[in-house]
């Protein structure tokens, strides 16, 4: 479709929706779709519309307003053809679930990393970002927390991008372990079972930018997170890092156990590898940032806001496969059965969920269940899957009693 045809179509659609097309009407249309003045995709047009809040928008004015904008994107927005057409309805559902669970106090704070038991246990946030860049968040979505095990898919992706799948899986398996996430065990080949448990994530760190300085290797990880999230607010919690090191006997034991079995690449430095792992687990984000990271995974490795490809689609396919089967500690099998989506949790209380080709969702609530997952986060996901046809195999059932998220 030509540029003029796109403009004509978009203008006609808007004119059918109101008796008087004003800047305020178009702004409300954009807000309802999941964008605001902070959204890179819409900030310029929203600012220009401020000058036309109450005045009629003629076709000529409309063309002038959109001349430097992404016309194809706005055509889909105005015609309600974004990936989640009824984004306002989805936001209402999230608000309802949030309200239902706000007073839920099931679970306990973790104690084995001293710094993690100092957080406010009542914090609760839900954030979402679609592959079109639509965003919503509620609750304590600005509260920062350490990534802990939630960094593991990113470490695995970085190792894959640098070394390729065959090299990486000479050193780490890809089967669920059936054991605790930090258990002192290897598979029959003397390798960590998969990259989503501690031993496997330590192995991923051993394969990331080995020739760089320790600072350079850590910067490589944070740069990837910044690219995935379009955020320069990726921070580091030194207190948690020191707490991690002081209570890391099991992780040191895993490292020596793998070295004894010659699982590491030949030139790996065990102590530098472990230190990088502790640093990576101590990286801080918030729910809003992590939802965009999850959306980049949902968008085949391309940030939906900047359109920058961070990871190749093949890398993301492999990551999501292991997140689906191994991402939720010892709850992974039940999660795959009941929720049916790739996800990763961390003992800081976060869970991020990937709905491929649709969106990423992050839930933060620090109280954990007996398996180390956010108790309230699990409940949020259960209620989402009860309401929307997002389970991996809902398409088989056609699910007449569920809402179609994508229209």
- Extents of the domains making up the chain: 3-78, 92-397
HSE-CB for 286 with a 13 A CA cutoff: 17
Q: How many CB atoms lie within 10 A of CB 121?
A: 15
Q: List the alpha helices (DSSP H) in 165-281.
A: 165-168, 198-206, 214-229, 238-246, 249-260, 270-281
Spatial neighbors of 242 by CB under 8 A, at least 6 apart, are: none
CA torsion 254-256-257-260 (nearest 10°) is 160
Strand partners for 403? 388
Residue 60: phi and psi, rounded to 5, are -65, -40
Model-level pTM greater than 0.85? yes
Give the whole-angstrom CA distance, residue 61 versus residue 15: 14
Let me know if 283 is exposed, middle or buried by CB neighbors in 10 A (0-12, 13-18, 19+).
buried
Per-residue pLDDT, 356: 98
Give the whole-angstrom CA distance, residue 178 versus residue 175: 9
The residues that are catalytic are 149, 152, 277, 329, 347
Strand-pair category, 350-355 with 283-286: unpaired
Per-residue pLDDT, 400: 80
Tell which residue, 132, 17, 124, has the closest CA to residue 79: 17
Which superfamily does 92-397 belong to?
DD-peptidase/beta-lactamase superfamily (3.40.710.10)
Let me know if 342 is exposed, middle or buried by CB neighbors in 10 A (0-12, 13-18, 19+).
buried
Give the whole-angstrom CA distance, residue 318 versus residue 168: 12
DSSP class of residue 300 equals T
Both tokens assigned to 168: 């990486």
Both tokens assigned to 305: 């806001």
Q: Tokens 């097309």 — which residue?
A: 21
Give the whole-angstrom CA distance, residue 109 versus residue 354: 25
Per-residue pLDDT, 37: 83
Mean pLDDT per 10-residue interval, the chain, length 407 residues = 90 95 97 91 95 95 95 95 97 98 96 89 98 98 97 98 98 82 81 95 98 97 98 95 92 95 95 97 98 98 97 98 95 95 97 98 97 97 97 86 91
How many residues are listed for the chain in this entry? 407
Give the whole-angstrom CA distance, residue 233 versus residue 78: 32
């Amino acid at each position: 479709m030509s540029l003029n045809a796109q403009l004509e179509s978009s203008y006609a659609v808007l004119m059918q929706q109101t008796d008087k097309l004003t800047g305020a009407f178009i702004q409300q249309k954009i807000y309802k779709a999941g964008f605001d003045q902070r959204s890179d995709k819409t900030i310029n047009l929203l600012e220009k519309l401020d000058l036309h809040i109450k005045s009629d928008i003629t076709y000529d004015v409309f063309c002038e307003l959109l001349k430097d904008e992404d016309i194809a994107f706005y055509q889909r927005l105005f015609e309600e053809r974004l990936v989640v057409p009824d984004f306002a309805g989805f936001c209402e559902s999230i608000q309802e679930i949030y309200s239902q669970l706000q007073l839920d106090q099931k679970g306990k704070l973790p104690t084995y990393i001293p710094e993690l038991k100092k957080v406010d246990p009542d914090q609760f946030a839900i954030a979402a970002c679609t592959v079109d860049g639509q965003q919503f968040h509620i609750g304590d979505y600005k509260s920062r927390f350490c990534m802990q095990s939630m960094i593991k898919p990113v470490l695995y992706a970085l190792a894959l991008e640098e070394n390729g799948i065959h090299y990486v899986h000479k050193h780490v398996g890809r089967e669920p372990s059936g054991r605790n996430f930090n258990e002192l065990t290897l598979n029959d080949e003397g390798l960590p079972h998969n990259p989503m448990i501690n031993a496997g994530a330590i192995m991923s760190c051993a394969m990331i930018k080995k020739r760089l300085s320790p600072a350079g290797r850590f910067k490589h990880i944070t740069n990837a997170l910044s690219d995935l999230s379009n955020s320069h607010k990726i921070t580091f919690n030194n207190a948690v890092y020191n707490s991690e090191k002081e209570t890391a006997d099991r992780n040191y034991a895993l490292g020596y156990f793998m070295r004894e079995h010659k699982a590491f690449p030949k030139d790996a430095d065990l102590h530098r590898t472990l230190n990088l792992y502790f640093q990576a687990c101590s990286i801080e984000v918030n729910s809003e940032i992590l939802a965009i990271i999850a959306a980049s995974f949902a968008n085949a490795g391309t940030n939906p806001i900047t359109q920058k490809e961070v990871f190749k689609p093949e890398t993301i396919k492999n990551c999501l496969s292991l997140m689906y089967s191994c991402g939720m500690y010892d709850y992974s099998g039940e999660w795959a059965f009941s929720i049916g989506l790739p996800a990763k949790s961390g003992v800081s209380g976060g869970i991020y969920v990937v709905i491929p080709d649709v969106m990423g969702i992050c839930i933060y609530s620090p109280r954990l269940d007996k398996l180390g997952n956010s108790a309230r986060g699990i409940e949020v996901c259960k209620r989402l899957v009860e309401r929307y046809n997002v389970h991996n195999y809902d398409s088989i059932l056609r699910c007449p009693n569920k809402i179609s998220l994508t229209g």
